[in-house]
Structure 1
Amino acid sequence: MPNYRWGIIGPGHIAENFCQQFPAGQTLYGVASAHSPEKGQAFAQKFQIPHVYADHAALLADPAIDVVYIATTNNVHFENIRAALLAGKHVLAEKPVTLNTAQLRTLMALADQRHLILMEAQTIYHMPLYDELAAQVRQRQLGRLRSLHASFGLHTLPDNPTGRLLNPQLGGGGLLDMGIYALSFARRLMTAAPQLEKTVMVPTATGVDDISATVIANAHHELGTFTFNLVPNAPEIGYAVYDRGYFIVDHYLRPEQAIFVDGATEEQSVIRAGHTDQAMGYEVTAMGHAIATGENPTQAWTLDTMTLMTAMRAAWGLKYPEERD
């Protein structure tokens, strides 16, 4: 795989994690902050990134940069990605890649027209454990996937309504920031695209989703149930039930192991693959392979999950300011 030169837009906390896990064989080349050149300078110094740009446009204008990692807030992903694609850059964008399906389809079409890769930085799509679970299904002859369940909760402080997670202006809410992991977990294991069957939601005082429960299904009769909590905490556990046994995946966002329970004997075994502290590095490696081959194996999963989330918010009546304009 070639050594690609990476530019970073949005040098915040998530981008720090990204740089800490950035793999050898790829190059962190430049960084830009839209609001604070000083922030970009400090970030570059911390991670020994050689080039700092005055703004996003200057970074995107540099022909030396091959691919851009976007880690800005949800509400500006669409415009940031569009600008990068128009500048001829491949894009790895933090989840959720866009606010809704219409935005995503627009960007996918633009990327296709320009022969560029647009990939979502969704750890679940790239953790080696999920490939290993698929292999275990075949080796153990577990039969059909029957049902999935995943929960997620984050103890968001309710007295900070302007914070990213509670602020509708920034595309906040439990679904786009945390529920997306549970739905991506389901899509990663399902054998066909899911559709929304039922969903209910309780909003926060700011109007974004706090607590929700959702049921999905697909043409292969695989069912999924999900519960999300924004303000109260909740366990991060996923279950995948097959004809002849089931998997329990604790901390399924970036897992390195799962427990398999045999359906007949109830015997348990531990399945291991990958490393949690390399999760974002796996995303970089996957992006590099996609650029080299011209094929994005995760694109359909991203589209199916975004379509599901868009349908859920439509059922809730939750629109963000950018969607109302």
Structure 2
Amino acid sequence: MTGLHWGILATGGIAHAFTSDLRTAGLDVAAVGSRRIDSAREFADQYGIPHAHGSYEELAADPTVDIVYIATPHPGHVENALLALDHGKHVLVEKPFTLNAAEAAAIRDRAAEKGLLAMEAMWTRYLPHMVRIREILAAGTLGEIRVVSADHTQKISTDPAHRLNALELGGGALLDLGIYPLSFAIDVLGLPEQITALARLSDAGSDAEVATILVHPGGAMSTTVSSSRGAGANTAQIVGTEARIEIDRVWYTPTSFRVITPDNEVAEEFTTDIEGRGMQFQALAAERLVAAGVTSSDVLPIDETVAIMGVLDEVRRQIGVVYPGER
């Protein structure tokens, strides 16, 4: 532990999950900020946080805070992150990092200007099973990787006012759900050289289902499917010439996987056994980076985060989804 003091910006469900895991890991939470002081005080009381603020500006200015976790809906990420950075705070920004690549680049550039850490809270990349998978890939155990596939499919409200359906809130399956399998494919295979996307849009104009085929360096391919209209298997696999990895449901949370040979023999089985939901691992990584004086994650560099947002921009261009503020 580096002794960093965390500030939590917003008090929604994801902020509760993250703060609970910070407590599980024994990390210090100094303050919470909300647009409503009653909400901030209730949150602070629940987690034993010493300072509660009735505005994001007050949280960003709090001298007891070193790093701010941005937990607002994604249309607010760029404004909230820049606010924190301008007050000298490192930022861990909930995924999707922003609405688009231009906003992501603005955060990256401001953080670089200030000499501060800006990191995407793609917590899956920091989970123990993903750490082990990257070790296996680096060792060449799978041979040449040919195919990666993953889905993120959930049954969510069809109410047009629901955050996941409302375009003015950045709604749609892609940014909330599709970001997971797309980031996973890019983690394994690198940024794509070709992108093909199809979608079914909701009555509100947001993407209810999205499918992608990406071609990566060397010709390897990835396929992803995301949906907010039906709950699927939520599994993933990495197929190589010498073996494959099958990741169990729910693949983007702490789970198990197997390395399987072409003869269907299990060469390795990995099972995750941790406390909490698993969001603490990204926080521990952020603390290590700050302690080392590093301003970009080695697991998910900020330039890669910006590039991934560019991939999502291209997917949206192909499926015809534009957010109101972008017009």
TM-score range, shorter chain: over 0.9
| Displacement of 1:146 | 0.8
TM-score (norm 2): 0.93
What amino acid is the match of 1:218? H
Secondary structure of residue in 2 paired with 1:279: coil
Q: Distance in 2 between matches of 1:255 and 1:105?
A: 30
Amino acid in the other structure paired with 1:26: L
5+ residue gaps in structure 2? none
Tell me the residue number matched to 1:14: 14
Q: 1:124 offset after TM fit, Å?
A: 1.8
Aligned residues: 320
1:298-317 alignment to 2 at 5 Å? 298-299=300-301, 300-317=303-320
Q: Which runs of 4+ in 1 moved over 4 A?
A: none
The 5 Å alignment of 1:84-103 reads 84-103=84-103
Q: What does residue range 137-148 of structure 1 map to in structure 2 within 5 Å?
A: 137-139=137-139, 141-148=141-148
Return the letter of the residue paired with 2:18: F
For 2:41 and 2:132, the matched residues in 1 are separated by: 41
| Distance in 2 (alpha carbons) for counterparts of 1:206 and 1:276 | 39
Instruction: Give matches, 1:33-44, under 5 Å.
Output: 33-34=34-35, 36-44=36-44
Matches within 5 A, 1:58-77: 58-77=58-77
Which residue in 2 is equivalent to 1:240? Answer: 238
Are 1:161 and 2:164 counterparts?
no
- Per the alignment, residue 136 of structure 2 pairs with 136
The answer to whether 1:261 aligns with 2:260 is: yes
Match of 2:49 in 1: 49
CA distance in 2, matches of 1:123, 1:276: 15
**Residue identity (%):** 29
Could you report, residue by residue, the CA deviation over 1:171-227 in whole angstroms, capped at 9, with x for unpaired residues?
Answer: 11100000001111112212x322342111110111110112110012222210111
- Tell me, in whole angstroms, the C-alpha distance in 2 between the residues paired with 1:139 and 1:9: 40
Question: Is this contact kept in 1: 2:151–2:226, CA < 8 A?
Answer: yes
Alpha-carbon spacing, 1:276–1:105, altered in 2? closer, same or farther (3 Å):
farther
Shift of 1:39: 0.7
Q: Distance in 1 between matches of 2:194 and 2:31?
A: 41
Deviations 1:272-303 (A, max 9, x none): 35637342100110111121221421124423
Q: 1:228 aligns with which of 226, 229, 241?
A: 226
**2:289 matches 1:286:** no
Q: Would you say the 8 A contact 1:216–1:223 is kept in 2?
A: yes
Query: In the alignment, residue 198 of structure 1 is paired with which amino acid?
Result: T
How far apart, CA to CA, are the structure 2 residues paired with 1:168 and 1:260?
40
How far apart are residue 138 of structure 1 and its match? 4.7
Gap change, CA 1:81 and 1:213, over 3 Å in 2: same
Which segment is superposed worse, 209-218 or 24-33?
24-33
Contact 2:98 2:104 in 1 (8 A): yes
**Aligned CA distance change for structure 1 residues 54 and 157 (closer, same or farther; 3 Å):** closer
CA apart distance, 1:135: 2.1
Q: C-alpha separation between the residues in 1 aligned to 2:199 and 2:205?
A: 11
Q: 1:276 to 1:122 in 2, by over 3 A?
A: farther
**Paired residue type of 2:181:** A
Map of 1:178 onto structure 2: 177
Q: Which moved more, 1:254-263 or 1:270-279?
A: 270-279
Consecutive unaligned residues of structure 1, counting only runs of 5 or more, are none
Tell me, what secondary structure is at the counterpart of 2:213?
strand
* Cα pair 1:74 1:172 within 8 Å, conserved: no
Question: Is 2:37–2:55's contact at 8 Å kept on the other side of the alignment?
Answer: yes
CA–CA distance in structure 2, aligned partners of residues 273 and 221 of structure 1: 32
Cα distance change on mapping 1:276 and 1:253 into 2, 3 Å? farther
Query: CA–CA distance in 1 between the matches of 2:281 and 2:217?
Result: 31
CA-to-partner distance for each residue in 1:59-115, whole Å, 9 max, x for gaps?
Answer: 111222100001101111111111111111100011011011111111101101110
The alpha-carbon deviation at position 157 of structure 1 amounts to 1.7
- More moved, 265-274 vs 174-183: 265-274
- C-alpha contact 1:152 1:236 (8 A) present in aligned 2: yes
Alignment-mate amino acid for residue 164 of structure 1: R
Residue identity matched to 1:169 = E
1:125 to 1:73, Cα distance in 2 relative to 1, 3 A: same
